[in-house]
Structure 1
Amino acid sequence: MVIVSLVVVLVLAVFGALHWYLWRRLVRDTTARSGVSRRVGTVAFVAAPLLMFAAIAAEQTGAPFLLQQVLAWPGFLWMALTIYLLLALLVGEAVRPLLRRALDRRPAPAAEPADVREAASVPAGAPARDAEQPNETSTSTSTSTSAAVAEAGAEPTPVAAGPSRRLFVSRVVGGAAAVAAVGTVGYGTYGVLNGPKVKRVTVPLAKLPRSAHGYRIAVVSDIHLGPVLGRGFAQKVVDTINSTQPDLIAVVGDLVDGSVKDLGPAAAPLAQLTARHGSFFVTGNHEYFSGAEEWVERVRELGLRPLENARTELAHFDLAGVNDVAGEDEGQGPDFAKALGDRDRSRTCVLLAHQPVQIHDAVDHGVDLQLSGHTHGGQLWPGNFIADLANPTLAGLERYGDTQLYVSRGAGAWGPPTRVGAPSDITVVELASKQA
C-alpha cells in the first residue's frame, strides 16, 4: 500500500511539473503579468487536467453515463493535446536560442539625420540654414518647453514601444507549438471519427486445402464503444465490414468500454454483420473491466458466436478462440488445452486471441495463424515505441516458427478518440493455399 501511494505521489508530481512547464511557456512567458490573457490561460491550465482526471474517474467508477459523455470529450482530448504540446515545446527549446540570435544580428534602425529633420520642419520657400550653424532658436524653444513641463509637474509622454525580443520569441515559439499540437490532434481525431479503412493481407498456409484458397476473414478489434465512440461509430464499422463481403467475421476483443446498460444501444448495429460463415467474438481485456459475462450474452443475442476457450470445425479449417489473459482474475482466463488440446493437427487452425503475447501458447499448440489486436499500433506517436516493447508484434504479419501472427491496429481508440501515426483499420485476411 505504501509503494502504491508513493507511485501515485510520484506520478502526480511529474504530471504537475509537466503542466507547470506548459503553463510557463504558453501563458506566463507570452502574456502581461496582470493581463486578462494570463488569468484566462491560468484558469484553463488548471481546469483542463482536472477535467481529464474527472473523465478517467467517471469511466472507471461507472458514473452516470451522461456525466461520462460530458467529461470525456474535453478530458480525453486534453490528454492527447498535452502530449503534442510538450513535444512541440521541446522542439521549440532548440529553436528559441537560434531565433534570439537571428534577431540580435539585425541592425538597429538608423537614426534620422538632424538636417533631414530640420528640412522637414522648414516651411516651403524659407531660406535653408547653414548645416554647421547651431539652431539657437530651436535650442531655446526646447529649453523653454522643458522648463514649462517641469514647472507644471508633468512628465513627458514616452514613445510607444513594441514587445521585447524575449517576449516576441516566446510568443512565436508558443504560438507555433500550439498550432502544431492542435493541428496534430485535430487531424488524428478526424481520422478516428471518419471510421477505419480497409486493409488487405494475404496469408499463405501450408496445410490449407486448395478448395479454401482465397477464403476471406474480416478481422476487427478494439472498437472501444464508450462515452465518445457510440452507435454512429459502430454503424460505420459494420458498414465497412459488410462492404468487404467476407466469408467470416472475427471480432477479436475490446469491443466496449462500459456496461451493457449504458452501451447496449450503441452495440446494436452489430446485429447487421453479414458473412457467409457467420461472425465470431472473443473477449479482450476491456470486456473484463466492463462486465464480460453480460457482454458475452449480449453479443450472442446480436448474432455473434462467442468462442470462450472453444473451437468450431469449419469445412476447410478449425477456428478456435481463447479468452483474454485479463480474465484470469475472474477465473475466466485463456485455456488453450480446452480450445485446442484434442484437435486434429493435420487440419489448418486459425486462432482468435486478443493479445499478441498469447502467440507463444499458440505455437506450442500447433496453431497455423493467430489473429489479434490490443496494441492499437501504439495509437499516439511516440507511444508506438512503448507498445512495441510490451508486445511481440506491434502491428502486421510476422512468423513465429510454424505459426503466423497477424495484429490489427484496431478500429477505434481508447481514451482520446485520436490516432497519430497509427491509423485505424479493418483487415481482410485472405487465406492462400500453397497447393493452389
Structure 2
Amino acid sequence: MVVFLLVLVVVLALLGGVHWYVWRRLVRDVTAPGGLPRRIGTAAVVVLPLLSLGALVSARAGVPFPVQQVIAWPGQMWLAVLLYLVLALVVGEAVRPLLRAWLARRAPAAAAAPAPAPAVPEAVPVPAAATEPLTETAPAAPDAATATPVGPETPTDVSRRLFVSRVVGGTAAAVALGTVGYGTYGVLRGPRVKRVTVPLAKIPRAAHGYRIAVVSDIHLGPILGRAHTQRIVDAINSTQPDLIAVVGDLVDGTVENLGPAAEPLARLRARHGSFFVTGNHEYFSGADAWVDHVRELGLRPLRNERLEIAAGFDLAGVDDVAGESEGQGPDFVRALGDRDRARAAVLLAHQPIVVHDAVRHGVDLQLSGHTHGGQLWPGNLLAELANPTVAGLERYGDTQLYVSRGAGAWGPPVRVGAPSDITVVELASKQA
C-alpha cells in the first residue's frame, strides 16, 4: 500500500507539473492578464485532466455506462493531445532563442535604413499682402477626416516575447491537434489487412497455404463499440480465412455493458472455426463471464488446451499471465505437455513475453498481440523494454513469434506510428 501511494503521489505530481507547463506556454505566455482568453484557457487546463482521470477510473468505480461514454471522448482524447502538445512545446524551446535572435537582428537593420528625403516644394510667388506682419496664432488641429490613420497592428507592434510565444505555442497546438486527428481517423476507419507468409518445417504439404486470420486488442469499450466490431468482422470475412484467432484484449468493460457491442462476432466465418484466448484486459472485465459469452457467440475459447486441426497441425491456447492472480494463468504443460512433437504446433497467447515457455515446449509458431506496436509514438520505445517483439515476425530458437499491432486502441482511440491491423498468416510447407 505504501509503494502504491508513493507511486500515486509521483504520478499526480508529474501530471500537475506537465499541466502547469502547458498552461504557462499556451495560456499565460500568449494572453493578457484577466482577459477572457486567459480565463477560458485556465479553466480548460483544470477541467480536462479531471475528465481524463474520470475516464480512466469510471469503470472500476461503477459509474453508469452512459456516463462513462460521455466523459470518455474528451477525457481520453486529452491524454493524446497532451502527449503531443508537450513534445511539440519541448521542441519549441529550442526554436524560441533562434526566433528571438532573428528578430533582434532584423530590428536594427530596419532602424538603420535611411529615411527618404522630404520633398522640396517649388518656389511660388508671394502676394504683397502676405509680406505684412501676421499675428501669431496656434496651429490648427488636423481635420479628423484628413488625419493619417493608424495602421493595423503588426508583429512589430507586439512585444518580441509575446510574438515568439504565440508563434511557438500556435505551431505546437496545430501539430498536436493534426497528429491526434490523423491518428484518430486511422482507428475509426478500421484496421487494414496485412498478409504474412510463415514457413514451418513440420507443416505437411496438405496444409501449404493454410490461412489464419489473427486479430488482437479490439478493446471494445465506452468509445469503440458495435460499429468498430462490425468493421473488424467484415474485414476478416473478406479474407476468407481457414481459421480465425482472436488473441486477447477483446474488451474493456463488462458483458452487461458491452455484450451488444460484441454481438457481430457471431458472424465471423472460417472453414475450421474461430478461437479465442484471454488477454490481460479480460481479467479487469470479468474473464469467466466473457469466456462464456464469446462461446455463445460461436467462438471456441482455448484455456490451456489443445486440439488437432484437420489440415495437419496442433492448435493450442493458453490463458494470459494476468490470470495468475485468479489462479488462471498460462499452463503450458496442460496445453502442450503430452503432444506429438512430430506435428507442428501453433500457439495462441496474448502476450509475447511467454515465447520462451513456447520455445521450451517445442512450439513452432506463436501468435500474439498486447503491444499495440506502441500505439502512440514514442510509446514503441517503452514497449520494446517490456516485450521481446513489439510487432511483426521474429525467430526465437526453433519458434517463430508473430505479434500483431492489434485492431483497436486502449485509452484514447488514437494511433501514431503504429497503424492497426488484422493479419492473415499463411502457413507454408517446406514439402510443397
Q: Could you state the TM-score of these two structures normalised by the residue count of structure 2? A: 0.91
User: Partner residue of 1:252?
Assistant: 247
Moved more, 329-338 or 6-15: 6-15
- Whole-angstrom distance in 1 between the partners of 2:253 and 2:18: 30
Q: Deviations over 1:384-418 (max 9, x none)?
A: 00001100000000000000000000000000000
User: Partner residue of 1:325?
Assistant: 321
**For 2:72, what is the secondary structure of its paired residue?**
helix
Closer, same or farther: CA 167–111 of 1 in aligned 2, 3 Å: farther
- Whole-angstrom distance in 1 between the partners of 2:224 and 2:28: 36
- Whole-angstrom distance in 2 between the partners of 1:126 and 1:249: 99
- Whole-angstrom distance in 1 between the partners of 2:430 and 2:99: 61
Q: Deviations over 1:19-43 (max 9, x none)?
A: 1001100111111112111111111
Offset at residue 127 of structure 1 (A): 3.7
Closer, same or farther: CA 160–246 of 1 in aligned 2, 3 Å: closer
- Whole-angstrom distance in 2 between the partners of 1:64 and 1:238: 28
Match of 2:110 among 108, 111, 116: 108
Closer, same or farther: CA 113–228 of 1 in aligned 2, 3 Å: same
Offset at residue 111 of structure 1 (A): 7.3
User: Partner residue of 1:6?
Assistant: 6
Match of 1:194 among 189, 196, 201: 189
Matched, 1:68 2:68: yes
Offset at residue 105 of structure 1 (A): 1.2
Percent of residue pairs bearing the same amino acid type: 72
Offset at residue 330 of structure 1 (A): 0.6
What letter corresponds to residue 95 of structure 2 in structure 1?
V
Match of 1:386 among 371, 382, 394: 382
Offset at residue 2 of structure 1 (A): 2.4
Moved more, 48-57 or 4-13: 4-13
Closer, same or farther: CA 324–108 of 1 in aligned 2, 3 Å: same
Q: Which runs of 5+ in 2 are unaligned?
A: 127-133, 142-149
- Whole-angstrom distance in 2 between the partners of 1:388 and 1:199: 22
Matched, 1:395 2:397: no
Q: Deviations over 1:242-271 (max 9, x none)?
A: 000000000000000000000000000000
Q: Report if aligned partners of 1:312, 1:319 keep a CA contact under 8 Å in 2.
A: yes
**For 1:417, what is the secondary structure of its paired residue?**
coil
Offset at residue 3 of structure 1 (A): 2.5
Q: Report if aligned partners of 1:281, 1:304 keep a CA contact under 8 Å in 2.
A: yes
Match of 2:281 among 275, 281, 286: 286
Q: Report if aligned partners of 1:62, 1:258 keep a CA contact under 8 Å in 2.
A: no
* Superposition pairs of residues 206-285 of structure 1, within 5 angstroms: 206-285=201-280
Q: Which runs of 5+ in 1 are unaligned?
A: 130-136, 146-157
- Whole-angstrom distance in 2 between the partners of 1:333 and 1:159: 73
- Whole-angstrom distance in 1 between the partners of 2:25 and 2:137: 51
Offset at residue 126 of structure 1 (A): 6.9
* Superposition pairs of residues 412-431 of structure 1, within 5 angstroms: 412-431=408-427
Offset at residue 63 of structure 1 (A): 1.4
- Whole-angstrom distance in 1 between the partners of 2:233 and 2:179: 27
**For 2:417, what is the secondary structure of its paired residue?**
coil
User: Partner residue of 1:46?
Assistant: 46
- Whole-angstrom distance in 2 between the partners of 1:309 and 1:3: 33
Closer, same or farther: CA 174–296 of 1 in aligned 2, 3 Å: same
Matched, 1:435 2:418: no
Aligned structure 1 segments of 4 or more residues deviating by more than 4 angstroms: 109-114, 139-142, 158-161
- Whole-angstrom distance in 1 between the partners of 2:210 and 2:124: 101
Offset at residue 140 of structure 1 (A): 8.2
Offset at residue 8 of structure 1 (A): 1.1
- Whole-angstrom distance in 1 between the partners of 2:80 and 2:118: 61
Closer, same or farther: CA 303–101 of 1 in aligned 2, 3 Å: same
User: Partner residue of 2:403?
Assistant: 407
Offset at residue 57 of structure 1 (A): 1.2
